[in-house]
């Protein structure tokens, strides 16, 4: 499924980005895990927060994240959707192309560490719909590495609905405090900070 | 109960402040409401998040907020505790002097609107421990008004464990994005954004 790539004419410093990450959960259990979205204006100001729940090792992350974002009062202002990787709540894989189509937003999945695809492939064989999950991961496309800050390790991105070059620019411009974009750094802090004491099991 | 007032020798731009606010809840019901704390470095960078639950119209907010803050990995770095007002989850009043003593931190309660004390006094008569609650509110001390931004309405503070002048400086310096300190602006966004969809009743 190839989607038209939105061309960003100019990346304004205050471009609205939503960053999405999951909270703590007990791996290999049945249940739900919190998924948090935070809206930033560029890399500087937090503008909004939203929450949904996805099934641990389930198949609903793509739809649930799309619903959360489209139900938000910030949706009309959003220009970019960033994900902390493509797997949430265990192996609940996000189809970034479908997510981009559902939300009509460019999607950029960011990881600090290069995923070990052979380990992931092996783990998926133990889960229902293992082949479907693997296909979704493969379809996310090649990992592109980039350096957001001098002297720091590179990070990796996968994109949907945006060119690799535009995605790199947005990721670099929004990495104001660390080597990952501020909306994702903060989504991680909030998701983990608020779920630690009350992890759903 | 008069406490020694901590003198802030110099207010560093990156001073660690925790801002505390409550989420949505159904008023006049029995149950718990979420209370969120966000840690900022000065008015610019979000460094941490924490959560507790307090009883709607209960009497446990002071202790629960103190426990939340002291259990946080950020506790040792914190220099200022800011509250969005002194009532949480309805009329669960915070004793700012006790909170300052328990946490060994200066406490600044901030409100945008001048509270209507006669309305509050009247409402408290319908609650158990109405007199105790009213005494705690009275003991929070006089409201001091200050203007954090030119041409904007003044805001109001009550303080414990810090001089009014030092408190005004911290409040002004941390009001980087609006007329209230950034830790409280963001605590409000997160607390309300994350509880709207899943309000506890």
Q: For residue range B2-44, what is the model confidence (pLDDT) as tens digits? A: 556 666 666 666 899 999 999 999 888 899 999 999 999 988 9
Residues of B in contact with A50 (CB under 8 A): 193-194, 197
Question: To probe the interface with A, which of B23, B40, B48, B49 has the most A CB atoms within 10 Å?
Answer: B49
The per-residue pLDDT for B4 is 62
Contact A189 B48 (CB under 8 A): yes
Instruction: Tell me the pLDDT tens digit for each residue of B86-140.
Output: 999 999 999 999 999 999 999 999 999 998 999 999 999 999 999 999 999 999 9
Residues of B in contact with A190 (CB under 8 A): 38, 46, 49, 190
Q: Does A33 touch chain B (CB under 8 A)?
A: no
The per-residue pLDDT for A189 is 97
User: At B180, phi and psi to the nearest 5?
Assistant: -120, 160
Residue A6 — pLDDT band, cuts 50, 70, 90?
Answer: low
The per-residue pLDDT for A125 is 93
Strands (E), B28-184: 32-41, 45-55, 80-84, 87-88, 92-93, 107-111, 144-146, 155-160
Q: Which has more pLDDT, B186 or B151?
A: B186
Q: Does B49 touch chain A (CB under 8 A)?
A: yes
Tokens for B131? 């007199």
Mean pLDDT for all residues in chain A: 91
Tokens 């994109």, residue located: A159
Residue A199 — pLDDT band, cuts 50, 70, 90?
Answer: very low
Distance CA A182, CA A42 (A): 8
DSSP H or E segment with residue B173: helix B164-174
Q: Does B118 touch chain A (CB under 8 A)?
A: no
Is pLDDT at B1 greater than 50 in this prediction? Answer: no
User: Could you tell me the pTM of the whole model?
Assistant: 0.91
Name, in order, each residue with C-beta under 8 angstroms of B142's C-beta and a sequence gap of 6 or more. B158
Q: Does A50 touch chain B (CB under 8 A)?
A: yes
Q: What is the ipTM of this complex?
A: 0.89
The per-residue pLDDT for B65 is 98
Q: What percent of chain A has pLDDT over 90?
A: 82
DSSP class per residue in B117-163: HHHHHHHHTTSTTHHHHHHHHHHT---EEE-SSTTS--EEEEEESB-
Instruction: Tell me the pLDDT tens digit for each residue of A25-60.
Output: 988 889 999 999 999 998 899 999 999 999 999 999
Task: Report yes or no: A177 and A185 within 8 Å, Cβ to Cβ.
Answer: yes
Tell me how close the Cα of B131 comes to any Cα of chain A, in angstroms: 33
The per-residue pLDDT for A9 is 60
A199: closest chain B residue by CA = B51
Class of residue B139 by CB neighbours under 10 A (exposed 0-12, middle 13-18, buried 19+): middle
Q: Which has more pLDDT, A122 or A200?
A: A122
Q: Does B190 touch chain A (CB under 8 A)?
A: yes
The per-residue pLDDT for A39 is 97
**Paired residues of B48 in beta bridges:** B39
Is pLDDT at A198 greater than 60 in this prediction? Answer: no
Is pLDDT at B183 greater than 80 in this prediction? Answer: yes
Name, in order, each residue with C-beta under 8 angstroms of B154's C-beta and a sequence gap of 6 or more. B145, B146, B147
Q: Does A184 touch chain B (CB under 8 A)?
A: no
């Amino acid at each position: 499924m190839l989607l038209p790539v939105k061309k960003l004419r100019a990346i304004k410093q205050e471009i609205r980005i939503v960053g999405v990450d999951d909270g703590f959960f007990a791996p290999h259990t049945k249940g739900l895990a919190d998924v948090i979205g935070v809206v930033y204006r560029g890399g500087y100001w937090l503008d909004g927060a939203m929450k949904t729940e996805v099934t641990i090792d389930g198949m609903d992350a793509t739809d649930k994240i799309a619903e959360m974002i489209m139900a938000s009062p910030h949706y009309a202002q959003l220009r970019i959707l960033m994900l902390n990787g493509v797997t949430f709540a265990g192996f609940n894989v996000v189809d970034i192309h479908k997510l981009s189509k559902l939300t009509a937003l460019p999607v950029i999945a960011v990881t600090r560490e290069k995923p070990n695809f052979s380990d992931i492939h092996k783990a998926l064989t133990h889960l229902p719909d293992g082949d479907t999950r693997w296909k979704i991961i493969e379809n996310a496309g090649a990992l592109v590495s980039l350096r957001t800050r001098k002297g720091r390790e590179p990070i990796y991105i996968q994109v949907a609905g945006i060119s690799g070059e535009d995605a790199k620019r947005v990721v670099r411009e929004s990495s104001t405090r660390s080597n990952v974009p501020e909306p994702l750094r903060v989504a991680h802090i909030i998701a983990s900070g608020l779920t630690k004491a009350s992890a759903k099991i």
